[in-house]
Chains A and B, each alone.
Chain A
Amino acid sequence: MNTVEYNKSVDKYADGMFRFILKNIKDEDKARDIVQDSFEKLWRNIENVNYQKVKSYLFTTAYHTMIDLIRKEKRKEDFENVDVKEYSHSEQYSDLKEVLNIALEKLSDVQRSVILLRDYEGYSYAEIAKITDLSESQVKVYIYRARKNLKSFIGSIETLV
């Protein structure tokens, strides 16, 4: 990979990576740092990274940096340990996007990551498995669970409304 391709990668993937990380950790400064770190790692390994695989390289690097950060902080609540009845609150939601954002926050870290990679970036199970160091079947299970959880949340809100 050369400098021109590196700069093209910045244009093509920086925003997507930033969105992916920001949606996961909800901290803009840290998301920026993770994106920055990922591109610095790419630059250091520019000779060894194929331009065709740079997107996967960047998201893998960003994902693992983020997971390390989350593990350090461990401040997120695991969706799977939350009773769905907890969604029954009186708060009114204006639109689906807002509801989804809240539902997304309630997913486990892994579920959130895989479903964001799936929906935001359109990755296949195999590609997500590579990025997240999971098996394809694990990825599939996490995505299915995430969908069911999101659907339950949306359903419960719609019922209330």
Chain B
Amino acid sequence: MMRRIDRHNYEEFFLDYLEGNLNDSEKKNLESFLALNPDLKEELEEMCLIELEEENITFDKSSLKQIPFETDFEDFCVAKLEGDLEREEEISFTKYLNDNLIGKAQYQLYEKTKLKADIDIIYPDREELKRKERKIIPYWMISGVGIAASILLLFSVWNTSISDKNAEQVSTKKVAYNDSVKKKVVITPTKDSNRLEKLVGINSESKTTKQESVEIDNQEVEKVIAKSQSIENKQVTDQIVSLPNVIKTAEFKVLANVEVKEQKIEVSNQEKEINEVPVNSGLDNLGMSWKSSVKAKRKSNSLLYAVAKMGVDKIGEIAGKKVQLEKQYDSETEKTRLRFNTKGLGFSTSIK
């Protein structure tokens, strides 16, 4: 229903007109009404001139931002000192301090609370606190050195035995021709055997026991020297034969931890070796004897090598390490060398 305009409600129409809320028919009615009431037309024109301009009013927001700093100034000071402020906070608070001299002075007091360690204070007995390093020798080193020591001992005994065997052979020959020389021979091996005993640490008791154990062997060797032997000769042979016995003892010591079987093998081989000493019946008839030193020596060496190799292999097996003992012929030097190799240790010796 269309509204009707009159002098009692024209303000409402005027306002709607100014705000653009009148439709076309209402606008026509308003124009007709203004034509009939020219005084009101002037009033409408005056209303159109009133226009409020937007004022540029701003508020100092920075002062609002300072409220937290002012309220919790102390906390902000400590937070800044401890580096606990966020980057934005840090910038704002620094600006606040720069604008506020009293605040800045207070913050400077906080800065003074930073403690600095007095480096003149030192612990007086620092060295007493220290500990010496515990030296732990690796097992492989112990086993390696142990094996090496055993082999060295074996070699030294072996080399001595070879020279002793040479002496034995010479003395045997000499015994065959001249009984008087035998006395000299008696001394030499005895010295050597004593030295060996010292070397391998055999006590006199063990020596006696060993001598008894090879008594039968001694009797066998006595046949080599045959009829020309005197009672003294028995002692000589005792002592001569005692050398392999000592060697055997030394080897027993070296291989003691390996296996009892080895000792048996060695003993049987020794017995075999002694049993195989050739007896020359012709010379025997003449009261003399002769023995092939080369063959016996080779047999003895190869036997020792076999025993040593077996022992070394066994030691390596027990120690869980690669331990090698091998004989090698060098065509250039025309010599046979015995090589020993284990982890971190190796050496060789010329055996012939």
Residue of A nearest to B84 (CB): A140
* CB of A155, distance to nearest CB on chain B (Å): 5
Pick the interface stretch among B116-124, B146-154, B222-230, B329-337: B116-124
For the complex, would chain B's binding face be called helix, strand, loop or mixed by DSSP majority? loop
Question: Inside 8 A of B7's CB, which chain A residues have their CB?
Answer: none
Q: Tell me if A67 is interfacial: C-beta within 8 Å of chain B.
A: no
CB pair A3 B74 closer than 8 Å: no
CB pair B118 A19 closer than 8 Å: yes
CB pair B110 A151 closer than 8 Å: yes
CA distance A125 to B306 in the complex (A): 74
CB pair B132 A3 closer than 8 Å: yes
Known: A15-B123, A18-B121. A144 touches B75 (CB 8 A): yes
Known: A4-B133, A10-B126, A147-B81. A16 touches B117 (CB 8 A): yes
CB pair B123 A35 closer than 8 Å: yes
Q: Tell me if A93 is interfacial: C-beta within 8 Å of chain B.
A: no
Residue of B nearest to A99 (CB): B112
Q: Tell me if A30 is interfacial: C-beta within 8 Å of chain B.
A: no
Q: Tell me if B100 is interfacial: C-beta within 8 Å of chain A.
A: no
CB pair B115 A120 closer than 8 Å: yes
Q: Which residues between 91 and 130 of chain A lie within 8 Å of chain B, taking CB atoms? A: 96-97, 100, 103-104, 115-116, 118-120
CB pair A32 B125 closer than 8 Å: yes
CB pair A147 B113 closer than 8 Å: yes
* CB of A91, distance to nearest CB on chain B (Å): 18
Q: How many residues of A contact B (CB 8 A)?
A: 39
CB pair B126 A17 closer than 8 Å: no
Set B78, B109, B118: member contacting A158, Cβ < 8 A: B109
* CB of A24, distance to nearest CB on chain B (Å): 12
* CB of B263, distance to nearest CB on chain A (Å): 44
Residue of A nearest to B113 (CB): A150
CB pair B126 A15 closer than 8 Å: yes
CB pair A15 B113 closer than 8 Å: no
CA distance A15 to B122 in the complex (A): 5
* CB of B73, distance to nearest CB on chain A (Å): 11
Question: Inside 8 A of B134's CB, which chain A residues have their CB?
Answer: 3
CB pair A154 B123 closer than 8 Å: no
Q: Which residues between 157 and 175 of chain B lie within 8 Å of chain A, taking CB atoms? A: none
Question: Inside 8 A of A118's CB, which chain B residues have their CB?
Answer: 82
Q: Tell me if A43 is interfacial: C-beta within 8 Å of chain B.
A: yes
CA distance A115 to B106 in the complex (A): 20
* CB of A138, distance to nearest CB on chain B (Å): 15
A sample of 15 inter-chain contacts (CB < 8 A) reads A2-B133, A3-B131, A4-B133, A15-B121, A15-B122, A16-B117, A32-B123, A100-B112, A103-B113, A143-B82, A147-B77, A148-B78, A151-B109, A151-B110, A151-B112
- Nearest first, the 7 closest Cβ-Cβ pairs linking A and B are A119-B115, A150-B113, A18-B123, A14-B123, A3-B133, A120-B117, A10-B129
